[in-house]
Amino acid sequence: MPAVTEAKSLAVLPLSVLNEEENMFQASIRRFARERIGPHVRAMDEAGLFRRDLLHEMFELGLMGIEIPEEHGGQGGNFFQSVLAVEALAAVDPSAAVIVDVQNTIANNILLRWGNDEQKRRYLPKLARDTVAAFALSEAGSGSDAFALATRATRHGDHFLITGRKLWITNAAEAGIYFLFANANPDAGHRGITCFMVERNFPGFQVGKKEDKLGIRASSTCELILDDCRVPAENVLGEIGQGYKIAIQTLNEGRIAIGAQMTGLAQGALDHAIAYAKERRQFGKPIADFQAVQFELAEMATDVEASRLLVYNGARMRDAGLPFVTEAAMAKYFASQVAENVASRAVEIFGGVGFTKDYPVEKLYRDAKIGRIYEGTSNMQKMTIAKQILGT
């Protein structure tokens, strides 16, 4: 009992203070984000397209395979490091952050946990080296009710034929592998849902319309169209009917990373607001000298730090093997609120110029909105938290 108690207290300690290795890791990503991604953020946002050369650099730096074991070409890191990477990137460009987020905390994780040895041998090196992945669950009639899936998979000997449409799929335009959910036994309801690894070049598969979005515009969001898409039976992830469990467990982890994305976004907005408040002069002095502005910045900084503590706590609990569902929901729910609020207040501190595209806070404000929607809306997070604390 004492050993268990000691381990738990260590894991749940919500430290925002990082150890030396973690500090160096995050600092290197911040530098990359500022120097390489930063100069292109506005252009990518306007074009709605993430630069291929930057994507290649993220692979070269190992940012797309943080938790993939070294024997498969990855970095052999942990979940917490993935969270640190997402947070650091989001302070400069949340679009870059969500690309790295989905690759690491969703795609790589799902394969590491549920894939067999042959599937790992075949796909993990690709995901670490040069292949973007996507998580394809949502459909037109399946949003918060994630398992009201209409996409069907029918067995034909050594393969399945999958027919249906997926919507709002992140990374879809760039991806080469899709972790796609379809019902292989509709009579069993959600217990027929199965996860398939679908390659982009499989017959009957195509990427459809790309969405024209409010925010995170450089991150692609597309529909997927499957018309008797032929998928080898060996590409079933886990077992037939395990898709429900696979999706739930994967999304629980992914929500911590969305919290990290929103925390990084909020930190970026706060940093811009502080710098501008020191430079902007009114009535003969910097606006940072006015108590009203100081109080705004103080509240913003406090909210960002509280958000960071929730996110880090959830990530450390996950790495320690402790239950973290409540903490993940809290982190995503709170961080998404903080991001929207802090970005909005940053725009106000900038005043009129903050409402223009000439300054970065306008984009961060637009980018923040999605945090309360994807990977489980704020209402769904509150439902999860309530059920956990009530024991229902």
Q: Which residue has the tokens 């599937």?
A: 119
Using only C-alpha atoms, the chain has a radius of gyration, in whole angstroms, of 21
Q: HSE-up of 139 (CA within 13 Å, CB side)?
A: 19
Query: Which residues 6+ apart lie within 8 Å of 19 measured at CB?
Result: none
Q: What distance in Å separates the CA atoms of residue 250 and residue 254, rounded to the nearest whole number?
A: 6
Active-site residue identified among 223, 253, 296, 375: 375
Catalytic residue check, 375: yes
Check residue 142 and report its DSSP letter: B
The helices-and-strands tally (H runs, E runs) of the chain is: 13, 10
CA dihedral 193, 196, 200, 201 (to 10 degrees): -110
Check residue 145 and report its DSSP letter: S
User: Crossing angle for the helix pair 243-279 and 325-350, nearest 10 degrees?
Assistant: 30
Q: What distance in Å separates the CA atoms of residue 240 and residue 233, rounded to the nearest whole number?
A: 10
DSSP characters for 342-387?
HHHHHHHHHGGGGGSTTSTHHHHHHHHGGGGTTTS-HHHHHHHHHH
Q: What distance in Å separates the CA atoms of residue 190 and residue 12, rounded to the nearest whole number?
A: 33
* Burial environment of residue 2 by CB neighbours within 10 A (0 to 12, 13 to 18, 19 or more): exposed
Q: Which residues are catalytic?
A: 375
